[in-house]
Structure 1
Amino acid sequence: MQPNTEHDQTAGDINRLAVAVSQILSSEGDRVTDIPGLSLHRRQAVTAPMHCIYGLGIGVTLQGRKQAMIGDEILTYVPGQSMVTSVDLPVISHISQASAAKPFLGMMLRFESATVMQVAERMHLSQRMRDGAFRPITVQPLDAGVLDALMRLVNLLKEPQLLEAVAPLIKEEIIARLLSGSHGPQLLHVVTAGSPSQHIAKTVAWLKLNFRQALRMDDLAAQAHMSPSTFRQHFRAVTGMSPLQYQKQLRLQAARQLMLSQNVDASSAGGQVGYESASQFSREYSRLFGEPPQRDIKRIRL
């Protein structure tokens, strides 16, 4: 049997990138780096499922295993795979394999939609596409060229004088390689002018900024150039939930962050994210996170 040299080389490159990340992030936690959009992650034990927002970008597991649940679908990605998110999406994620001896190591690189669109146009890839098979999150084998570029991006952290000039070029290279690879069709859906997925992506971006406002479905549908029924259908196809459910998750996650980071009490947090009724806020918070606000925050801080 012939040795699989390509597989061995990829595994070796992943190990080298894991070592580089481990040297930068030597203790438990997350690190937002000086490269815009790039964060590094390390966990020494399996974690409980957490609600979070995955934004447009790529996530890579270098050591251990991670799972993300989108609606009823569970996606697992391991070293040698990449997870690309094409539109901001509420998910439930957790580290499913990690230990003190072999911690989970991962990295995430977020993209600006305008940059993805510019790269696609330079590559003449922005032609109109059909929306039939769009998936907001895809897991694919990690492309060797993308892996090499990620390694160069991480190593660039050792040369701060070059960050501003070189990091954007490497990020554009990564985007170009993703567009030309197995993740490409999904990324193209949200940058193709006039496609339903692009209209929904714009609605999602608007909701992220305006989730405190009351929703008028007819207005959202009109902004997306769709009838209300078609809009609801496409929105659910892209995000896995209705616009109202999406807004609710944004509100509740923002309230949770306010309570955690700014010590805001539950009633104030609910009001700040758009709830008029404290009892409704507490009820919906408990339904999403499994416990009332005060008990949930206390548990997280233990």
Structure 2
Amino acid sequence: MARAVSRLAQSEGVTPTPLANAWLLKLRESVPYHRGRNRGLSVAVAISGRKIVTYRKNRVVNDSGNIITMHGDTDYDATVEASRSEPYIALKLQLPPDLLAETLIRFVETGTQAGKTETDATFFCEPLSEALADPLLRLVESFGDPADCHVLAPLCLQEICYRILRSNAFSVLKSAIAEEDTRLVRAMRFIEAHAHRNDLSIDQIASQIAMSPSRFAHRFSALLGMSPMQYRKQIRLEKARQYLLSAQISVALAAEAAGYASTSHFNRDFNSAFGLPPRRYAETVRKLGTVRS
């Protein structure tokens, strides 16, 4: 894992991968303070260096051999300990919300829900197990081949999501699943089909699955770690990302295709989601030679 990730993380800062929800980070200097924000279910695996993360009163150290998982729409504080001889290098993932929803629902269907525990699934750090390290390594290795990235990477993400949700840290999340939550997948498909509409509302989405708007918004955010409108934004940005890579259109046209009226607003949202401005992101991924359309 260390060799595979270090080989890809050659430049300082964020290095995108052919997958929208996976990237690498390399820092050769310490960062005394950083304010971050998490949405959805994210994963960070440290290869070298140290990152100290504080959430509320919880403080964990993510260094070589550890994995941090975070769930929900939450702010956190972090410091990074790094040097040129031992840079901070990490693999980061944001698991797709639809994959998270479908995996949680399958736990219900197979009767593998866990009982409630005192463990908090919002913020968790533990040693990286062999069972989870294996699909993570296969995911990183798939970036080197377009066919592997297109066919095998989604399968790796499925296994990664499954392994994470099977851990004790997510017993609370699994035990919170209700039968009505199977409708959330239908809601997500409706959002995906209508993400381009500027008039799309919580009321319209909730009516499609016969839930009250307040109940729908609460269940969506509680289980998927982001609001329905945040998910719509994610869908729009992914559409723009694909246009930039496959059609090689201008940033302005990509913003318009994604439903943005303002290119500057699009640039800010894209940079926040993918770690780089749109044009630089597209140029960097094309250099990898493994663009996934």
Of residues 44, 51, 58, the one that matches 2:27 is 44
Q: Distance in 1 between matches of 2:167 and 2:35?
A: 30
Question: Aligned-pair distance for 1:220?
Answer: 1.1
Cα 1:241–1:141 shift into 2, 3 Å: closer
Q: Distance in 1 between matches of 2:179 and 2:74?
A: 24
Q: Does 1:203 align with 2:187?
A: yes
Question: Aligned-pair distance for 1:215?
Answer: 0.8
SS in 1 for 2:191: helix
Q: Which amino acid aligns with 2:84?
A: A
- Structure 2 gaps of 5+ residues are 272-276, 284-293
Native 8 Å contact 1:255 1:272 kept in 2:
yes
Of residues 141, 146, 150, the one that matches 2:126 is 141
Q: Distance in 2 between matches of 1:62 and 1:221?
A: 42
- Structure 1 gaps of 5+ residues are 1-16, 291-295
Of residues 209, 214, 229, the one that matches 2:214 is 229
Of residues 100, 107, 114, the one that matches 2:84 is 100
Q: Which amino acid aligns with 1:105?
A: I
Aligned to 2:274: none
Output the aligned Cα RMSD: 5.8
Q: Distance in 2 between matches of 1:60 and 1:288?
A: 24
Q: Does 1:125 align with 2:108?
A: no
SS in 1 for 2:251: coil
Q: Distance in 2 between matches of 1:74 and 1:167?
A: 33
Q: Does 1:273 align with 2:263?
A: no
Q: Does 1:183 align with 2:181?
A: no
SS in 2 for 1:141: strand
Aligned to 1:21: 5
Question: Aligned-pair distance for 1:60?
Answer: 1.5
Aligned to 2:289: none
Q: Distance in 2 between matches of 1:149 and 1:44?
A: 25
Cα 1:121–1:262 shift into 2, 3 Å: same
Question: Aligned-pair distance for 1:152?
Answer: 6.1
Question: Aligned-pair distance for 1:232?
Answer: 3.0
- Number of residue pairs aligned between Structure 1 and Structure 2: 261
TM-score (structure 2 length as normaliser): 0.55
- Per mean C-alpha deviation after superposition, the further-off stretch among 224-233 and 166-175 is 166-175
Cα 1:122–1:254 shift into 2, 3 Å: closer
Question: Aligned-pair distance for 1:228?
Answer: 1.5
Q: Distance in 2 between matches of 1:25 and 1:185?
A: 34
Native 8 Å contact 2:22 2:91 kept in 1:
yes
Q: Which amino acid aligns with 1:27?
A: Q
Native 8 Å contact 1:25 1:40 kept in 2:
no
Please show how residues 272-291 of structure 1 align to structure 2 within 5 Å.
272-275=257-260, 278=261, 281=262
Cα 1:237–1:285 shift into 2, 3 Å: same
Cα 1:199–1:83 shift into 2, 3 Å: farther
Cα 1:143–1:212 shift into 2, 3 Å: same
Q: Does 1:215 align with 2:179?
A: no
Q: Distance in 1 between matches of 2:45 and 2:270?
A: 26
Q: Distance in 2 between matches of 1:30 and 1:156?
A: 15
Question: Aligned-pair distance for 1:202?
Answer: 5.2
Residue by residue over 1:201-247, the C-alpha shift from the partner in whole angstroms, topping out at 9 and shown as x without a partner, is 65346435532123132221123432122223334445676544554
Q: Distance in 1 between matches of 2:24 and 2:100?
A: 23
Question: Aligned-pair distance for 1:195?
Answer: 4.6
Native 8 Å contact 2:35 2:76 kept in 1:
yes
Cα 1:100–1:237 shift into 2, 3 Å: same
TM-score (structure 1 length as normaliser): 0.54
Question: Aligned-pair distance for 1:189?
Answer: 6.2
Cα 1:100–1:269 shift into 2, 3 Å: same
